[in-house]
Amino acid sequence: MARIQLENVKKAFGKVQALDGITIDVKDKEFFVLFGPAGAGKTTILNCIAGIMMPEEGLVKFDGEIMNLTDSAHRNVAMVFENYALYPQMTVYDNMASALRSKLYKTDEAEIRERIQWAAKIMKMEKLLERLPSQLSNGQKQRVAMGRALVRNPSVFLMDEPLAHLDAKLRNSMRTELKEMQANLGSTCIYVTHDFMEAMALGDRIAIIKEGRIVQIGTGDEIYYMPCNEFTAQLMGDPEINLIDAEISGTEEAYTAKFSLNGEMVACSLPQDSGVYAKIKELGLKRVDIGIRPQHIKYSFEPQDGYFKTTVYSYESIGNKSVIVTDCGDKNHSQLRMIAPNGLRVAIDNDIYIHLEMDHAIFFGSETKDYIVRYDEANYIALAAAQEDE
Amino acid sequence: MAGLTLNHIYKRYDNSGKKKKVKNDFAVKDLNLVCEQGEFIALLGPSGCGKTTTLRMIAGLEEITDGEIYIGERLVNNLHPKDRNIGLAFEDYAMYPPLNVYGNVAFNLRAKGVDKSEIDRRVREIAPLMQIDDLLEKMPVKLSGGQKQRVNIARAIIREPELLLMDEPLSHLDGKARQAMRTEIKRLINKIKCTTVYVTHDQLEAMSLADKIAIINFGVLQQFGTPTEVYDDPVNEFVASFIGEPPMNILETTIIKKEGTFFFTFSNSNLEIAVPQRYYSVISDGFRCKMGVRPMDVLIGGPDSQGTPEKIATFENLGDERRIGIHVGDILMMLITEDEKRYKRGDIIKLEVRGEKTHLFDITTGDRIREKK
């Protein structure tokens, strides 16, 4: 039960600046996700909070109190790692009791039993208590590791990619279970992941980390609908967002975006309403990157109004739906991906007609790669504000 | 013409040296597969199911206990791996570090004593296909994982093999590189039309790449069919739950009859789902079995819906879609929606299950119970 703050935390390993001024403010009982690619510094942030590492600069505060010089053991944090680190010779029960029996906590056995039973119930592992770790599946082992953290009733849970080890199926079902347990945790939790589905599903708020810096902090919806730059936009969503390098031209009345498709230049008019037009006019932009998510490109096998002709580069089923890939034919070999149902009679290199739904487009600077505007921006700002209130 | 035929293949590892008796001593049991010329086949199953063993037997790296393997029309049981005319690409790239990319790709042809100008012609032909034309002068240490795997595959196909064998070639790559590489493999195979056997434990990879999927469990072939067939028409509970993510919801059910209509009912739940008429000939009042339904065939009813009101246990907003979990007895039943509405845990929704999309499975064997034709 604690509010965790980092203020301008810096940490270097030799010449590498692992953390370059991290400032976050995690509210009490918040589930806060640190999300980013490998090597971004996510785990280093956790280690600074846990007291395993000392930041060279900046403050670590728990409930407003500066913890920089407090020993790790006295910070009352519980960590869960990717590898479960269970004692192989001890039963699940003893593994869970191990911290409480240590010199530091010296809890009496009756209370230990009570706490373990409570944690086992939340983690749905009441039937596993007498087993040895070798008799558990990987998913069960991770559950024990989490249960062991739970019984300590810590100020904050620090979870470092607890599901990364598991295969895709188990990871998804464990994520759903974790979501279910979340309501019963009643503690602040800081969770590190490189899986966007985990970040979106679990996080009350998400901090996007890149090269030791924070790129964006916000709710899942804020980051998904209004990513602050192309890097963030590409992290959220699978298959990732399409980015189209387009040239803007036009008169006072109408703007068109021209871009390369299948080696030819095509033009598509920009929506006039909802602020897009106004923003582009205001900034006098000549070039933008248009971001369109794969579900917002429509296709047809017949020529239609507002559809551009191109060819199928690939057609892949991804389970309950498929992805059609087309080639832009520009110098960067860029491709467009769109969602389609399974079982279409689509052959590679066949013609296909596509339509970009501009009323879902997000616009980025052609040079800066930063967010400029999206269609219906006001609506999404309102959605974000509503979530903030909750 | 068949590109590859497996005829009653068995594999038993010799465990006589081990103290512990292994119960399931056949690693592969009575495996029959016919792969047409130019077809792309995926061998799919959990780890330890025998899929890699099968691939190694086809390659000749593993002896066959019983059965026959034909590549094209040739019986290859007793042929040395090098005489089977196969190309191999494994998860590990195993490149020669002192040779540059060109040297690595050309290595097998050089070893065979192919003419220098012919080697050059073939390398230049394959390089653009695998998009490694700019890398030919580079050393392996300078390459990313995705690039290494491209070189690795180029090396396998440059020999113009009759059969291409790949063992989890993408499992080393991270998400983005994997997605891009999947597209490239799909295009490549489509272009060179080489019969390919591809081993994977990732159902998504199998679904996206293969013309046909062979699903194997405990060394036994469960089902062999196109991605659509195994997805829409699974032969048993194992296939149904292995294919698809999130997996099919599978729940134990007791069928009851009310006023001439049969319903699926579930212990500790109010949920009732009408049984499709086509099953009426195989069920009866009180019939116990398992019911399976995919998460996209579970829907949220509108305000006038006749669906059962249920409390939301989990709500996951994944950006592109949203997943909702509902407790039906002890099981968390998942549904997927692209609806923009944001729900909370504890909200009540009306649950509608598309009865016509349900499958029945035998409660003990897990085999599909089919309507009588």
Residue B20 pLDDT > 60, yes or no?
no
Q: Which chain A residue's Cα is nearest to B207?
A: A317
User: Quick check: B171 contacting A, CB < 8 Å?
Assistant: no
Between A232 and A331, the more confident residue is A232
Q: Range of B232's domain?
A: 2-242
Helix (H) or strand (E) holding A43: helix A42-50
Q: How many domains does chain B have?
A: 2
d(CA A179, CA A190): 14
Same domain, B256 and B160: no
Same domain, A221 and A296: no
Q: At A222, which CATH number?
A: 3.40.50.300
Name the minimum distance, in Å, from the CA of A123 to any CA of chain B: 14
Residue A386 pLDDT > 90, yes or no?
no
Average pLDDT value for residue range A250-274? 82
Same domain, B324 and B201: no
User: What is chain A's mean pLDDT, rounded?
Assistant: 90
Please, which pLDDT band fits residue B357 given cuts at 50, 70 and 90? very high
d(CA A316, CA B204): 9
Please, which pLDDT band fits residue B80 given cuts at 50, 70 and 90? very high
Helix (H) or strand (E) holding B89: strand B86-89
Query: Which residue pairs, CB below 8 angstroms and at least 24 apart, start in A117-123?
Result: A118/A151, A119/A147, A119/A150, A119/A151, A120/A96, A120/A147, A122/A147, A122/A150, A122/A181, A122/A184, A122/A185, A123/A147, A123/A150, A123/A181
DSSP assignment of A50-76 equals HTSS--SEEEEEETTEE-TTS-GGGS-
User: What is chain B's mean pLDDT, rounded?
Assistant: 91
d(CA A237, CA A234): 7
Same domain, A73 and A206: yes
Contact A197/B318, CB-based, under 8 Å? yes
Least CB-CB distance to A319: which of B187, B207, B323? B207
Residue B359 pLDDT > 90, yes or no?
yes
Q: Which of B43, B66, B70, B47 is nearest to B58 (CA)?
A: B70
Residue A208 pLDDT > 90, yes or no?
yes
* Per-residue confidence (pLDDT) for residue B56, from 0 to 100: 94
Same domain, B201 and B293: no
Name the minimum distance, in Å, from the CA of A259 to any CA of chain B: 22
Contact B246/A173, CB-based, under 8 Å? yes
Q: Confirm if A144 and A131 have CB atoms less than 8 A apart.
A: no
* Per-residue confidence (pLDDT) for residue A328, from 0 to 100: 82
Average pLDDT value for residue range A152-166? 89
Q: Confirm if A230 and A244 have CB atoms less than 8 A apart.
A: no
Q: Which of B215, B214, B234, B289 is nearest to B39 (CA)?
A: B214
Least CB-CB distance to B316: which of A201, A238, A348? A201
d(CA B326, CA B311): 6
* Per-residue confidence (pLDDT) for residue A252, from 0 to 100: 64
Same domain, B63 and B181: yes
Same domain, B119 and B150: yes
Same domain, A254 and A182: no
d(CA B14, CA B98): 39
Contact A220/B183, CB-based, under 8 Å? no
* Per-residue confidence (pLDDT) for residue B23, from 0 to 100: 57
Same domain, A259 and A231: no
- B179 contacts on A by Cβ (under 8 Å): 238-240
Same domain, A75 and A211: yes
* Per-residue confidence (pLDDT) for residue A344, from 0 to 100: 84
Q: Confirm if A178 and A202 have CB atoms less than 8 A apart.
A: yes
Residue B267 pLDDT > 70, yes or no?
yes
Name the minimum distance, in Å, from the CA of A112 to any CA of chain B: 27
Q: Which chain A residue's Cα is nearest to B190?
A: A348
Tokens representing B352 are 């509608």
Q: Which chain B residue's Cα is nearest to A177?
A: B314
Least confident range from A12-21, A107-116, A380-389: namely: A380-389
d(CA A357, CA A51): 49
pLDDT tens by residue, A271-318: 777 678 888 888 888 899 999 999 999 999 999 998 999 999 999 887
Q: Which residues on neighbouring strands pair with residue B6, listed in sequence order?
A: B33, B69
- B316 contacts on A by Cβ (under 8 Å): 175-176, 179, 197, 200-201
* Per-residue confidence (pLDDT) for residue B268, from 0 to 100: 92
CB crowding A271-283: b at 16 or more within 10 Å, else e: eeebbbbeebeee
* Per-residue confidence (pLDDT) for residue B279, from 0 to 100: 93
Please, which pLDDT band fits residue B373 given cuts at 50, 70 and 90? low
Residue B298 phi, psi (nearest 5) = -110, 125
Give, in degrees to the nearest 5, the angle at Cα B354 between B351 and B356: 155
Average pLDDT value for residue range B286-306? 93
DSSP category for residue B236: B
Please, which pLDDT band fits residue B22 given cuts at 50, 70 and 90? low
Same domain, B183 and B276: no
Please, which pLDDT band fits residue A104 given cuts at 50, 70 and 90? confident
Average pLDDT value for residue range A71-83? 89
**Amino acid identity at B264:** F
Q: Which residues on neighbouring strands pair with residue A24, listed in sequence order?
A: A6
Please, which pLDDT band fits residue B1 given cuts at 50, 70 and 90? low
Please, which pLDDT band fits residue B17 given cuts at 50, 70 and 90? low
- B188 contacts on A by Cβ (under 8 Å): none
* Per-residue confidence (pLDDT) for residue A347, from 0 to 100: 86
ipTM metric = 0.86
* Per-residue confidence (pLDDT) for residue B38, from 0 to 100: 92
Same domain, A326 and A342: yes
Please say which residue of A235, A251, A271 terminates a domain. Answer: A235
**What stretches of chain B show up as alpha helix (H) in DSSP?**
51-59, 101-111, 116-129, 145-157, 175-192, 203-209, 227-232, 237-242
Q: Which of A158, A211, A142 is nearest to A32 (CA)?
A: A158
Least CB-CB distance to B227: which of A196, A240, A317? A317
Same domain, A230 and A263: no
d(CA B275, CA B253): 11
Q: Range of A47's domain?
A: 4-235
Same domain, B188 and B258: no
* Per-residue confidence (pLDDT) for residue B184, from 0 to 100: 87
Query: Which residue pairs, CB below 8 angstroms and at least 24 apart, start in A340-345?
Result: A340/A299, A340/A315, A342/A317, A342/B227, A342/B228, A342/B231, A343/B228, A344/A315
Q: Which of A311, A340, A315, A339 is nearest to A327 (CA)?
A: A311
Average pLDDT value for residue range A247-268? 84
**Amino acid identity at A263:** G
